[in-house]
């Protein structure tokens, strides 16, 4: 590594952030494309709302179940190899969606696809913990999740264009090819530690790691013993459960936008498919802005106050309650365009919670941040798996308003968890270990 003490810092970590953002975009492009293609798929195969709800949900069940294994693999083997492998795998499953011929085969392929995507965000969180200092974590989580929502936002118009020109099956072939290109790019460009990367000089490394009292660069928290996860301690940690419960309420609401929104706009609000290609994107574009705004806000508050608990909680609580305020009138209004505008506001506030939510596993997880983020995302996506099923069941019996009211109630509960239970300053592992050691000594 070149001597960086007397030269300006390099920008290698921002190049890596760009690659991670691109992966986040691809994850949501791949998981949301089926929601826009759903009307065409339903028409061809004669699927009703309950069947489509099961197809939507199959991805999320697998995504939830494989979060913790995905986080563990990244903690153990590093994000370079693991992310390369899983992105290549899920790209195969994306393309295989086009070959499905029945409800059962759609469910199986989407389940296998979800198992692959499960390791993406825990792996990226572990990578970001090693590449970015604490005061940048809200921003980078906001930016990466903005990219994911951008993928969801651009999916409807892109998918509609492909369907009208090439047919719905081509959507999945094209998206699968994009994922393969990223996997190769990542393997060639990324290293598990910035110390190993040619684009990072010593000055930038000092910004990333910080220095000790002697001016020496702090070592990375990168231990293979991280594979020996203290599961009992994690599962006994009230803070771990608070993190999981809060994220459950967020993801439940998110999947209303990711799974049923196009069908809702077509069937309940009576927009044409071409209009849906634009209107379904508006809430998701608002989410892009909300992700970045929330990340910037939580980092700004942290720098101003030095209080991690305050900085994370305030932004998350405002986001959850703001979403609840907008999502109820979206369901109850009779004007279809007003409903879209309210849903756009709801998505903006919902996504403001992402920066603080994903900063917490890095704040409280230590060397187990991949596993902790996997547990958080697992719990969240159990909510995400339930959401399409509940929505589909209620919509099937003719009630399009009830799913939004249920989501609003959960958002209020989530805000309460953040306010009274979740503590970003309390480690989910180390403090428990200290307590156990002290108890044993006594």
pLDDT digits (tens, 9 = 90+) for 380-402: 988 988 888 888 888 777 678 88
Q: Tokens for 387?
A: 């959401």
Query: At the top level of CATH, which class does the domain 12-441 belong to?
Result: mainly alpha
Cβ burial of 290 (10 Å; 0-12, 13-18, 19+) is buried
| Residue 127 pLDDT greater than 80, yes or no | yes
| Mean pLDDT of all residues belonging to the chain | 85
- pLDDT value at position 356? 92
Percent of the chain that is helix, strand, coil (3-state, to 5): 80, 0, 15
Q: Which residue has the tokens 């603080």?
A: 356
Q: Which of 23-37, 43-57, 132-146 has the lowest mean pLDDT?
A: 132-146
- pLDDT value at position 442? 42
Q: What are the distances in angstroms from CA 160 to CA 113, 164, 265, 343, 346? A: 22, 6, 14, 21, 24
pTM of the predicted model, to two decimals? 0.73
When pLDDT is cut at 50, 70 and 90, the band that residue 221 belongs to is: low
What share of the chain has pLDDT > 70, as a percent? 93
- Rounded Cα gap, residues 257 and 37, in angstroms: 15
| Residue 441 pLDDT greater than 80, yes or no | no
What backbone phi and psi angles, to 5 degrees, belong to 211?
A: -130, 155
pLDDT digits (tens, 9 = 90+) for 309-367: 999 999 999 999 999 999 999 989 999 999 999 999 999 999 999 889 988 987 888 77
- Spell out a b/e string for 82-113, using b for 16 or more CB atoms within 10 Å of the CB, else e: bbbbbbbbbbebbbbbbebeebeebbebbbbb
CA nearest to 20, candidates 144, 180, 106? 144
Q: Domain spans of the chain? A: 12-441
Give the side-chain half-sphere CA count within 13 A for 366.
17
| Residue 419 pLDDT greater than 90, yes or no | yes
H/E stretch holding 412 reads helix 402-420
| Residue 55 pLDDT greater than 70, yes or no | yes
Q: What are the distances in angstroms from CA 68 to CA 251, 316, 372? A: 17, 24, 8
When pLDDT is cut at 50, 70 and 90, the band that residue 4 belongs to is: very low
Contact between 338 and 282 under an 8 Å Cβ cutoff? The reply is no
- pLDDT value at position 180? 93
When pLDDT is cut at 50, 70 and 90, the band that residue 35 belongs to is: confident
- What is the arithmetic mean of pLDDT over 210-238? 71
- Rounded Cα gap, residues 286 and 148, in angstroms: 12
Q: Which of 2-11, 111-120, 200-209 has the lowest mean pLDDT?
A: 2-11
Q: Which residue has the tokens 């921002």?
A: 14
- pLDDT value at position 228? 67
DSSP letters spanning 139-179: HHHHHHHHHHHHHHHHHHHHHHHHHHHH-HHHHHHHHHHHH
- What is the arithmetic mean of pLDDT over 247-262? 89
- Rounded Cα gap, residues 37 and 329, in angstroms: 27
| Dihedral sign, Cα of residue 404, residue 409, residue 410, residue 414 | positive
């Amino acid at each position: 590594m070149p001597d960086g003490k007397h030269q300006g810092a390099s920008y290698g970590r921002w190049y890596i952030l760009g690659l991670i953002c691109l992966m986040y975009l691809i994850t949501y492009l791949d998981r949301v494309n089926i929601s826009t293609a759903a009307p065409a798929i339903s028409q061809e195969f004669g699927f009703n709302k309950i069947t489509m709800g099961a197809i939507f949900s199959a991805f999320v069940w697998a995504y939830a179940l494989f979060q913790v294994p995905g986080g563990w693999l990244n903690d153990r083997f590093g994000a370079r190899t693991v992310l390369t492998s899983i992105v290549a795998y899920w790209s195969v499953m994306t393309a295989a969606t086009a070959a499905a011929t029945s409800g059962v085969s759609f469910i199986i392929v989407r389940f296998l696809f979800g198992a692959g995507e499960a390791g993406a965000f825990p792996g990226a969180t572990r990578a970001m913990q090693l590449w970015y200092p604490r005061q940048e974590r809200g921003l980078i989580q906001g930016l990466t999740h903005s990219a994911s929502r951008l993928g969801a936002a651009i999916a409807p118009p892109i998918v509609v264009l492909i369907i009208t020109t090439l047919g719905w099956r081509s959507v999945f072939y094209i998206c699968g090819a994009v994922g393969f290109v990223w996997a190769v790019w990542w393997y060639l460009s990324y290293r598990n530690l910035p110390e190993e990367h040619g684009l990072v000089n010593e000055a930038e490394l000092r910004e990333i790691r910080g220095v000790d009292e002697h001016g020496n660069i702090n070592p990375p928290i990168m231990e293979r013993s991280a594979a020996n996860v203290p599961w009992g301690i994690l599962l006994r940690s009230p803070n771990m459960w608070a993190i999981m419960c809060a994220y459950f309420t967020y993801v439940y609401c998110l999947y209303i936008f990711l799974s049923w929104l196009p069908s809702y706009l077509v069937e309940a609000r009576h927009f044409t498919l071409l209009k849906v290609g634009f209107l379904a994107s508006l809430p998701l574009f608002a989410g892009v802005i909300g992700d970045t705004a929330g990340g910037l806000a939580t980092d700004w508050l942290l720098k101003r106050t030095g209080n991690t608990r305050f900085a994370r909680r305030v932004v998350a609580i405002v986001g959850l309650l703001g979403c609840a305020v907008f999502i109820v009138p979206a369901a109850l209004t009779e004007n279809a365009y007003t409903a879209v505008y309210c849903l756009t506001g709801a998505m903006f506030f919902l996504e403001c919670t992402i920066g603080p939510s994903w900063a917490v596993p890095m704040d409280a997880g230590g060397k187990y941040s991949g596993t902790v983020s996997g547990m958080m995302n697992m719990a969240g996506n159990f909510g995400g798996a339930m959401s399409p099923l509940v929505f589909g069941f209620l919509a099937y019996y003719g009630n399009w308003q009830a799913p939004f009211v249920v989501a609003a109630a959960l958002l209020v509960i989530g805000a309460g968890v953040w306010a009274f239970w979740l503590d970003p300053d309390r480690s989910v592992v180390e403090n428990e270990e200290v307590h156990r050691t002290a108890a044993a000594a006594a």
